Structure formats: C-alpha cells, structure tokens
Structure 1
Amino acid sequence: MAEAREVLSVQGLSAGWGPLRVIHDLDLIVKAGERIGLVGLNGHGKTTLFYAIAGLTGWQRGSILLNGRQIGRTRSQGPGRYTHQIVRQGLALIPQGDEIFHGLTVEEHLDSGAFTPRAWKERATRKRRIYDVFPPLRKLSNTPVGRLSGGERRMVSIGRGLMAEASLFLVDEPSLGLAPKIGKGVLDALMSIELSDSAMVIAEQNIALLEGKVDRVIGMHVGKLKGGASAALMLNSNRDL
C-alpha cells in the first residue's frame, strides 16, 4: 500500500508578534487523510501556529511546505501579504469564534466560502454537503446570521470554511464558548466529514471532545509540540501546567 502523501511539512518554524517569540523551532508533518487534535491551554501557541502557516504572524522563519510547495518564507513585516496565495494553494483557516457578518444570510455566508473558480462552480453541491453535516442550517438558509444562536453561528462559520477548495483545514477552538452538548455536536460534525485526499488539524482545549475520534493527539506547551500522546497522558500533563 502506498504511503499517504504529506499535505503539510513544517520544519524549524519560529514565529511571533513584535519582540515576542511564541513558536520555538517547531516541526510538524500532516499526511493526507489524517485528522489531528492539537491540545494545549490558551496562550501556548496553537492559534499562532495556525496563523504562521497562513502567513499572518508578525514575523516568522523556517520551512512550511503545503502540498510540496514552500509557503513559509522568512517574514519580518506585512502579516497577510501572501495569505491569498497560500489559500489558493489549498489552505482553509477556520478561526476562533464566529467571524460573521450579522446582516448576511446563512446561504450568503456559505457562498462567500466558495471563492475559487472551481468551488464557486460547485457551490450548490458543496452547500448540500454542509447542510448534511449541519442539518439545522438547512431550514435557516435564508435567515440573517445575526438572528441565530451561538451554536448555529458557529456552524455557519465552520461551514463557510468547509466550502473552500482546500487540502488542509485548520480549525481553531470549534467548541469555544459553546454549551458542552452543542460543542460536542459541532466536534462530531467535524469528525463526520470525509477527508479523502485532504487533512484536518483541530485545535482544542477540551481533550475529551477529541478522545478516540482523531488519528493523533499532539500537545502544545509554550510554543513547542510535545509529540504524539494518548488522551490520558495529555490530560494529565495539562493539569500540571
């Protein structure tokens, strides 16, 4: 059986904001078909890692290969300068919180996620898949997002990201601020998505939501990865931070 290709290869990545160094010489490989849980407390670098991959940090150095193409570059200024190019090469970053426009409808938000020519052409099919993943949104398709509940808005935000033509999905704290039952429902929906030749990294504080559901759990502490670890080991280590 052929080995799965590397969707993401990060080597020696350091990144930060202004004089602050948040990520420290980090290495990470993500292969096609993988669903990885990135676990750590707030302030330990999960979001900064995602932003560095997307070219959104204040400064960074090191190698980042996305589908075999270098997207890392050494940056000292201009966060976001190359992000549009990185996105077109196959990255979808789904940030914390809602990040929505309250006056737009659910359908308009989902359409905005299909920004590449191929995704736009296939947007009707892609929306049907999103509605299958998040059934409550189907009846709300023409409703302004500002009228939705917190859980429904999170579904819209994640669904918009999943509309993209991407090979790597970075999902940042999908359960943040949600009631436990709703947060579990959102995570279960993410687990139901067929990755095929793509991959997904989910940053979470609540390891119980990921336990037994992802292919690997990786811990993050003060800007460094702790490597593969069982859910029980990671839970114990987080208690000691």
Structure 2
Amino acid sequence: MAMGQQAQRSERREVLNVKGLSAGYGPMRVIHDLDLIVYSGERVGLVGLNGHGKSTLFLAIAGLTGWQRGSIRLNGAEVGGTRSQGPGRYTHLVVKRGLALIPQGDEIFTGLTVEEHLDSGAFTRRAWRDRQERKKKVLQIFPPLKKLMGTAVGRLSGGERRMVAIGRGLMAEASLYLVDEPSLGLAPKIGKGVLDALMSVELGDSAMIIAEQNVALLERRVDRVLGMHVGKLKGEAAAALAYQTRREI
C-alpha cells in the first residue's frame, strides 16, 4: 500500500473492525480467525469462488450464522463476540447500529409493489421519517423503477427485481452496506449496469463491501479488492486473485 493511501486511510473513521472472527453452521467452520478493517468512504470488493466464505462473513457481521466467536465492532460498538443464541436474535440491534445487508438473489415478496418494498427498507425511525427523500435518491440511482412503483414485484424482470432488492437496502439509515453477489444470475450487460449503479451511491461517512465472483466487474472501480479463500482473506491484489481463481476452476 502506498504511503499516501496509508495517510488518507488513517484520517478516516473505522466503520467496521473485525478481529479473530471464526464462524460457521453446526459443526462446520467456514470463517477462520479473520481480521478486517473498513473505513468510512471506502468501497471494498470481496471476491472468491462459491463456498469460500463471502456470504458467511456478511451473515456473521449481521449475527445470522449458526455460531461465531471473535470481535466485530460496528461504528465502535461490539456486535460480535461468542454467540450461543439462535441466529438472528440480535440482528435488529445490529441494523440499528448502522448495518444494511443486501443478500444474494432477489429476496422479495412477489405480491408487494416496488414502493412497498422500498418502504420496508426504511427500518429505523429516522429512515422511516425521511423515506420519501430516500426514495427519490434510490430512483435517481435506478431510473427504470420510477414507472414501476405501483407494480407487483413478481411481475418484474430479473434485472428490475435486483434493482428493487438493492434499492430496499439503500433505504436504510446505514453506515455499512454489505452487498452480496449483485450481478448473480443476470446477463452481463445488466450485471454491469447494477454495478455501475452501486458505484454511483454517495457514501459520505458510510462504507460498502461488495462480494462478487467476477473480479473484472470490480477492478479499478473500488478502493480495495480482497480475496476470500477457504474462509480467510488473501490480500488486496485483484490480478493475483484472478490468477488464483483461474487455477482453482
């Protein structure tokens, strides 16, 4: 890392600080003693093959894994630690601390309209109060949704549904956005358009981590690219990660 980048990063606020995180499901350990720091204003790319822990890392931050231990600090507050309760018991508190998790696929309710989905993303009291202004910003990012606000989401195309799912996450009062495989299952042109939209989000003091299998969609667009391999992070060189991925296929 260049000295200029180090100096710039040191001036930013830590949004996420993960230390010694291990997590999994039942007897299976997926994340292994992982450390990660993400700063305000950063877009971080997380790339790797299926099954190597990208989604599990996101679920662990949200408190949704089967078990986990280690420290996860979000905006300076501990949200990790050793969990003995069922998944999701404290997720609503993590969301209130500033987390927005945008999972793989659509994760939609087919009978609800586009507008109803967007409104459902305004989870906190402040976000709900400001939801009209937040919807305007989402529609600036995804203009095709403007004419579809009253349409049931089940009638939309795959790309439109993905816009709704991401837009719902952007409605939150979040300081950390976790976006899991935004281009999954989409045609290349549509997937690129979705990534372009994510790049246009003004982060301000917030941060964003985007998990992707397609490293080419993230290169030269995000501040850092991290590789995930068998539950561990493998550095920040996109080219090296692409080489590693090609060898494993």
Q: Please indicate the TM-score interval, normalised by the length of the shorter structure.
A: over 0.9
Q: Secondary structure in 1 aligned to 2:225?
A: strand
| Counterpart-to-counterpart distance in 1, 2:224 and 2:57 | 17
Match of 2:82 in 1: 74
Where 1:138 maps in the other structure, the secondary structure is helix
Aligned pair 1:200/2:208, yes or no? yes
CA deviation vs aligned residue, 1:146-190 (integer Å, no higher than 9, x gap): 110000000000000000000000000000000000000000000
Paired letter, 1:234: L
Secondary structure of 2:22 counterpart: strand
Q: Tell me how far apart the structure 2 counterparts of residues 234 and 73 of structure 1 sit (CA, whole Å).
A: 30
Look up the equivalent residue of 2:240 and give its one-letter code.
L
Offset at residue 76 of structure 1 (A): 3.2
Report how many residues are paired.
240
Structure 1 residue 46: Cα displacement:
0.2
Within 1, Cα distance between the matches of 2:160 and 2:36?
A: 32
Instruction: State whether structure 2 residue 228 is matched by structure 1 residue 225.
Output: no
Q: Percent identity?
A: 77
Q: Counterpart in 1 of 2:109?
A: 101
Match of residue 6, structure 1, among 6, 9, 14: 14
The equivalent of 1:179 in structure 2 is 187
Deviation at 1:24? 0.2
User: Whole-Å Cα distance in 2 between the matches of residues 76 and 16 of structure 1?
Assistant: 12
* Aligned-residue offset at 1:19: 0.3
Displacement of 1:77 in angstroms is 3.7
1:240 and 2:247 aligned: yes
Partner-residue secondary structure (3-state), 1:170: strand
- Looking at structure 2, the residues matched to 15 and 108 of structure 1 have their Cα atoms a distance apart, in angstroms, of 34
Q: Which residue of 2 is the match for residue 62 of structure 1?
A: 70
- 1:50 matched to 2:64: no
Q: What is aligned with 2:28?
A: 20
Instruction: Give TM-score, length-normalised by structure 2.
Output: 0.95
Q: What are structure 2's unaligned runs of at least 5 residues?
A: 1-7
Distance 2:61 2:107 in 1: 19
Q: Distance in 2 between matches of 1:58 and 1:124?
A: 36
Q: Which residue in the other structure is 2:153 paired with?
A: 145
Deviations 1:34-89 (CA, angstroms, capped at 9, x unpaired)? 00000000000000000000000000000000000000020134011110100000
Structure 1: any 5+ residue segments left out of the alignment? none
- 1:164 & 1:77 partners in 2: Cα distance? 26
2:140 maps to 1:132: yes
CA distance in 2, matches of 1:75, 1:15: 10
- Which residue in the other structure is 1:191 paired with? 199
Distance in 2 between residues matched to 1:234 and 1:195, nearest whole Å: 26
